[in-house]
Chain A
Amino acid sequence: MSKYIVTQNVADCIGCRACEVHCKDKNNSGPGAFYCRMIEVTSSAGSLPRIDFVYLACFHCEKAWCVDACPTGAMRRRDKDGIVYVEAKSCVGCKACITACPWTVPQWNPETGKVGKCDLCMDRIDEGLEPACVSKCTTGCLSFTTPGQASESARQAFAEQLLRNRR
Chain B
Amino acid sequence: MKETKYSICGMCAVRCPVAVQVEDGKPVWIEGNSHDGGMGRSLCAKGGAAFAQRADKQRPTAPLLRMGKRGEGQWREASWDEAYDYITTRLNAVIAEHGGRSIMFSDRGGPFADLRQAFVKALGSPNYINHDCTCGRNVHHASKSVYGLGRKDFSYDYANARHIVLFGRNITEALKVKEVKSFLKGVKNGARVTYIDPRASVTAGKATRYWQIKPGTDYALLLGIAHCVLSNNYYDLDFAERYITGLSEFKTFLAPYTPVWAAEETGIAASEIEAFCRELNEDRPKVIIHPGWMLARYRDSFHASRIIHILNALMGSIEQPGGLFYPKGPKDVGKSGLKSLAALVPAVSEERADGCGSRFPQWDKGAGMLQTAYEAIETGTPYPVKAYFVHRHNPFIALPDTNEQRRILDKLDLIVAVDVNFSETAWFADVILPENTFLERDDILRTEKGLKPGFGRRQQCVKPLNNTKAGWEIYLDLAKRMGKGEYFPFKSIEDIWQFQLQDTGLSVADFDAQGFVKLSDKALWFDRDKLKFGTESGKIEIVNPKWEAMGVASLPPYEAPVPPPEGSFRLLFGRNGYQAHGQHQNNPILCELLNVNKLWINTAAAKKLGVKDGDQVRVESGDEQGTITAYVTDLIHPQAVFMLHGFGTDVPAKKRSVGKGLADQMFMQGKLKEWDKAGGGLNLAESFVTVTPV
Tell me the B183-201 residues at the A interface (CB within 8 Å): 184, 187-188, 200-201
Q: A52 to chain B: which residues have CB within 8 Å? A: 205
| A73 sits at the interface (CB 8 A) | no
Interface residues of A, CB < 8 Å — how many?
28
| B454 sits at the interface (CB 8 A) | no
Among the 9-residue stretches A12-20, A74-82, A83-91, A111-119, the one with 4 or more Cβ atoms under 8 Å from chain B is: A12-20
Establish whether residues A22 and B202, one from each chain, have CB atoms under 8 Å apart when the complex forms: no
Q: A11 to chain B: which residues have CB within 8 Å? A: 187-188, 206
Q: With the chains together, A52 CA to B205 CA distance in Å?
A: 7
| B635 sits at the interface (CB 8 A) | yes
Q: A50 to chain B: which residues have CB within 8 Å? A: 205
**A20-B45, A25-B52, A138-B43 known; A14+B172 contact, CB < 8 A:** yes
Establish whether residues A12 and B43, one from each chain, have CB atoms under 8 Å apart when the complex forms: no
Closest chain B residue, CB of each to CB of A15 = B202
| B449 sits at the interface (CB 8 A) | no
Further contacts, 8 of them, CB under 8 A, given A25-B49, A140-B40, A140-B42: A14-B173, A15-B577, A48-B204, A49-B635, A136-B42, A136-B43, A138-B42, A138-B45
Establish whether residues A14 and B202, one from each chain, have CB atoms under 8 Å apart when the complex forms: yes
Among the 9-residue stretches B89-97, B377-385, B589-597, the one with 4 or more Cβ atoms under 8 Å from chain A is: B589-597
Tell me the A3-45 residues at the B interface (CB within 8 Å): 11-12, 14-18, 20-22, 24-26, 31-32, 42, 44
| A151 sits at the interface (CB 8 A) | no
Q: B167 to chain A: which residues have CB within 8 Å? A: none
| A69 sits at the interface (CB 8 A) | no
Among the 9-residue stretches B174-182, B319-327, B618-626, the one with 4 or more Cβ atoms under 8 Å from chain A is: B174-182
Interface size class of B (residues with CB under 8 A): 35 or more
Establish whether residues B45 and A18, one from each chain, have CB atoms under 8 Å apart when the complex forms: yes
Q: With the chains together, A85 CA to B187 CA distance in Å?
A: 38
**A49-B205, A51-B204 known; A139+B180 contact, CB < 8 A:** yes
Partner of B589, one of A21, A136, A139, A140: A21
Q: With the chains together, A51 CA to B593 CA distance in Å?
A: 18
**A14-B173, A49-B205 known; A135+B635 contact, CB < 8 A:** no
Q: With the chains together, A44 CA to B200 CA distance in Å?
A: 9
Tell me the B649-694 residues at the A interface (CB within 8 Å): none
| A64 sits at the interface (CB 8 A) | no
Q: A15 to chain B: which residues have CB within 8 Å? A: 172, 202, 577
| B396 sits at the interface (CB 8 A) | no
Establish whether residues B175 and A17, one from each chain, have CB atoms under 8 Å apart when the complex forms: no
Q: With the chains together, A18 CA to B29 CA distance in Å?
A: 14
What are 8 A-B pairs with beta-carbon distances under 8 A?
A17-B45, A18-B48, A25-B48, A25-B49, A51-B202, A135-B41, A136-B32, A138-B42
Q: With the chains together, A136 CA to B177 CA distance in Å?
A: 11
* Cβ distance A128 to chain B, nearest Cβ, rounded Å: 14
Tell me the B202-237 residues at the A interface (CB within 8 Å): 202, 204-210
Closest chain B residue, CB of each to CB of A33 = B592
Establish whether residues B210 and A21, one from each chain, have CB atoms under 8 Å apart when the complex forms: no
Q: A140 to chain B: which residues have CB within 8 Å? A: 40, 42, 181
| A98 sits at the interface (CB 8 A) | no
Q: A136 to chain B: which residues have CB within 8 Å? A: 31-32, 41-43, 48
* Cβ distance B461 to chain A, nearest Cβ, rounded Å: 15
* Cβ distance B292 to chain A, nearest Cβ, rounded Å: 20
| A101 sits at the interface (CB 8 A) | no
Establish whether residues A16 and B578, one from each chain, have CB atoms under 8 Å apart when the complex forms: yes
Establish whether residues A14 and B175, one from each chain, have CB atoms under 8 Å apart when the complex forms: yes
Closest chain B residue, CB of each to CB of A42 = B635
Q: B204 to chain A: which residues have CB within 8 Å? A: 48-49, 51
* Cβ distance B213 to chain A, nearest Cβ, rounded Å: 14
Q: B209 to chain A: which residues have CB within 8 Å? A: 48
| B511 sits at the interface (CB 8 A) | no
Closest chain B residue, CB of each to CB of A141 = B184
Establish whether residues B42 and A17, one from each chain, have CB atoms under 8 Å apart when the complex forms: no
Establish whether residues B188 and A16, one from each chain, have CB atoms under 8 Å apart when the complex forms: no
| A1 sits at the interface (CB 8 A) | no
| A56 sits at the interface (CB 8 A) | no
Q: A139 to chain B: which residues have CB within 8 Å? A: 42, 180-181, 184
Q: B578 to chain A: which residues have CB within 8 Å? A: 16-18, 21
| B338 sits at the interface (CB 8 A) | no
* Cβ distance B634 to chain A, nearest Cβ, rounded Å: 4
Establish whether residues B200 and A16, one from each chain, have CB atoms under 8 Å apart when the complex forms: no
Establish whether residues B42 and A137, one from each chain, have CB atoms under 8 Å apart when the complex forms: yes
| B281 sits at the interface (CB 8 A) | no
**A17-B593, A18-B44 known; A25+B51 contact, CB < 8 A:** yes
Establish whether residues A14 and B210, one from each chain, have CB atoms under 8 Å apart when the complex forms: no
Establish whether residues B43 and A18, one from each chain, have CB atoms under 8 Å apart when the complex forms: yes
Closest chain B residue, CB of each to CB of A49 = B200
Q: With the chains together, A24 CA to B208 CA distance in Å?
A: 34
| B245 sits at the interface (CB 8 A) | no
Partner of A16, one of B52, B175, B634: B175
Q: With the chains together, A167 CA to B519 CA distance in Å?
A: 44
Q: B31 to chain A: which residues have CB within 8 Å? A: 135-136
| B520 sits at the interface (CB 8 A) | no
Tell me the B3-46 residues at the A interface (CB within 8 Å): 29-32, 40-45
| B633 sits at the interface (CB 8 A) | yes
Establish whether residues B177 and A138, one from each chain, have CB atoms under 8 Å apart when the complex forms: yes
Q: With the chains together, A40 CA to B586 CA distance in Å?
A: 23
Partner of A48, one of B43, B44, B210, B589: B210
Which 8 A-B residue pairings sit nearest by Cβ, starting from the closest? A51-B205, A16-B577, A21-B48, A44-B634, A14-B172, A21-B45, A49-B200, A18-B45
